[in-house]
A and B are shown apart, each in its own frame.
Chain A
Amino acid sequence: MIEPTWWLLGLLLPGAISALGVYLGLRLAGSGRGGALIAWTLGLSAAFATGFYFTAGWPTLPPSESHDWLVLVLLPAAAVLALLDASDKVPRPAVWLLRLIIAGGAAPLLMQIYLTHHWTPAQSGAWFAGLGAAIFLVWALLKRYADRHGDHVLALMMLIVVGGMAVVNMASDSQMLGQLGAVLTAALAGGWLATLRFNARAGRGLVDVTMGVFVGLLISGRFYSWQMDQPWAADLLGVLLLAAPLGVWASVLPGFRGDRGPKGFKAVALRLLVVAVPIAVAACIAGYIAYVESTQAGPSYY
C-alpha cells in the first residue's frame, strides 16, 4: 500500500528534478563529454536524494541499514567519481582506480553485518571478491560503451534495467526498495527527456551515478529482502539483473551495424529489446514466485 502523495513527491518530483538538473547542466556545461557527466550527475543525484527522502525518510546517522549506506556513502562516492571523470585534469588511471574501489567496495560497505553475523571470513572473502569483480566488470563495460557509443537510447536501456529491478524488489517482499528503484527509473526518464533537446551524445553521462544506485539497490534486495524458498532463484534473479546492462553492447554487434543493420525506430526497438529480455525473465520469475506465495498466504495479508 503506497501513500497517494508518494506518486507525486517520490516519483514525479524526482523525475522533474532530474529533467531540470540535466537540462540546466547541459545548458551551462555544454553537451560534450564533461558537460554530459556533470549534468547527469547533478540531475540524478539530486533526484534520487529527493525521492529517497519522500520514500524512506531521513537516513539514520551513523548509517545502519544498507539503504542508508547507499544514499549517504555510495551515491556521493559515485557522484564524485563522475565529476572527477568530467575533469580533464584528473588522470584517467586515477578515475578508473576510484571506480574499481567503489564497485569492489559496494558489497562490503552494504553488507557489513554479513561479516560479523552471517558468513565466515572465508565465505565473506569469496562472496565479496566475486561480487566486486562482477560489479566492476559490468560497470566498466557499461562505462566503456557510454564513452564510445552512448546516446539518448542509453538512458532508455538503463531505465528498463532499473525499472525491472524495482519490479523484482517490489515482488520480493520489499516495497521500499521497489519504490527506491522506481525513483531512479523516474530520474532516468526525466534526464532522458531533457537530453532530447541536445545532441544524442548528451546521453552518455549517466553511468556512474546510475550504476552506484542500481548496484546498491540490487545488493540490498538480494541480501536483505529476497527470501525465496529456493536460494538459487534469488541468485538467478541477481545474475539476470546485474548482467542485463551488458545488453547495450548488442548495438555494436555486426548484425546491428552497417548498411544491412536495422535503422531508425527499428534499431532503437531492437536495442531496447536486447536489454529487456533478461529483465522480463527476471520480473516473470519474481512475479511467479510472489504469485505462488500469495496464493498460499491468501489474497491479501495487509
Chain B
Amino acid sequence: MTHVSRYLAMLTAVVLAGGGSALAQEWKVDPDHTSISFKISHLGISTTHGRFNVMEGSFSTGEAASFDVSVEAESVDTNNKKRDDHLRSPDFFNVMQFPTITLKTTEATATEDGYQLTADLTLHGVTKSIVVDLVKVGEGEDPWGGYRAGFDAAFKINRSDYGMDNMIGAVGDEVELAISIEGVRQ
C-alpha cells in the first residue's frame, strides 16, 4: 500500500468513525483499556473510590449509534477484600442474584463532541432510563493493525433508585460513575 492510499484509508476510517458520522461502524469494547469506576461519600467526610474489573460490550458509531456494556458485578473492587465481600452480599449488589450490570442504549443523538445517550441502566435487578453525555477522546490506528476509538462519560445515580438502600447515611446515596471506553473496530 502506497503512502497515499494508506493515508486515504486512514482518512476514510477517521471520517466514518467520527461522532455523528452518517455511516455505521461497529466496535468491540477492549476491556483492558476500558474503565468503569465509581466514587461515593463515606460518612459525609470523604470519598471512597471503586471500580469494576470485568466487563464486555460493543458499540456502534454513526447515525444509528449505540453503546452496550455489560459488567460483572462480582468484579467490584474497592481495594479492601472485606468491604468488597460485603458489597457483593445481599446488603448491596447481591451479585449471585444479579450477576450483571448492563447499560443498553435506547436512543443516541450526535453532539459536537460525541453523543448524548439515553440508555437503560440495569443495576441490582432494577432498570431505569438515564441520560449520559459521551465525549469522544480520540481514535486512530494502533500498533497491531487495528483501529480504535475512545469515549469518556461521567454521570450520577442514586443507588436507592435501584433498590440498594442499605446503610444510606454512613455510605452516600449518590454515586458518581466515570466510564472510559475503548473499542476496536470490527
Residues of A in contact with B (beta carbons under 8 Å apart)? 1, 3, 57, 60, 64-67, 113-114, 117-118, 173-177, 220, 223-225, 227, 290, 293-294, 296-298, 301-302
Contacts and interface: CB of A to CB of B under 8 A. Distances in A.
A114 B43 CA distance: 35
Contacts of A113: 96-97, 99
Nearest to A180: B90
Nearest to B81: A297
A114 B169 CA distance: 33
Given A64-B125, A173-B88, A176-B90, A293 B81 contact: yes
Which 6 A-B residue pairs are closest in the complex by CB-CB distance? A297-B82, A301-B83, A174-B89, A173-B89, A225-B89, A173-B85
Interface string B43-64: 1000000000000000000000
Nearest to B78: A301
A302 B82 CA distance: 10
Nearest to A228: B85
Contacts of B85: 173, 227, 293
Given A174-B90, A301-B82, 5 more contacts: A65-B90, A173-B86, A224-B90, A297-B83, A302-B171
Contacts of A220: 90
Nearest to A112: B97
A225 B80 contact: no
Query: How many interface residues does chain B have, given as a range?
Result: 20 to 34
Contacts of B83: 297, 301-302
Interface of B: 42-43, 80-83, 85-86, 88-91, 94, 96-97, 99, 125, 163, 165-167, 169-171
B115 to A, nearest CB: 31
Contact of A67 (B81, B86, B88, B90): B90
Contacts of B43: 302
Main secondary structure, interface of B, reads loop
A177 B99 CA distance: 19
A293 B96 contact: no
B96 A1 contact: no
Given A296-B82, A297-B80, A66 B88 contact: no
Given A60-B163, A113-B96, A224 B89 contact: yes
A223 B90 CA distance: 10
B87 to A, nearest CB: 9
A114 B165 CA distance: 24
Contacts of B167: 1, 175, 302
A66 B82 contact: no
A293 B90 contact: no
A65 B97 contact: yes
8 contacts: A1-B167, A1-B170, A60-B163, A174-B89, A175-B91, A175-B166, A302-B43, A302-B170
Contact of A66 (B86, B97, B170): B97
B80 A174 contact: no
Given A66-B97, A173-B85, A175-B91, A301 B170 contact: no
Nearest to A110: B97
A258 to B, nearest CB: 47
Contacts of B91: 173-176
A176 B166 contact: yes
A220 B40 CA distance: 27
Nearest to A67: B90
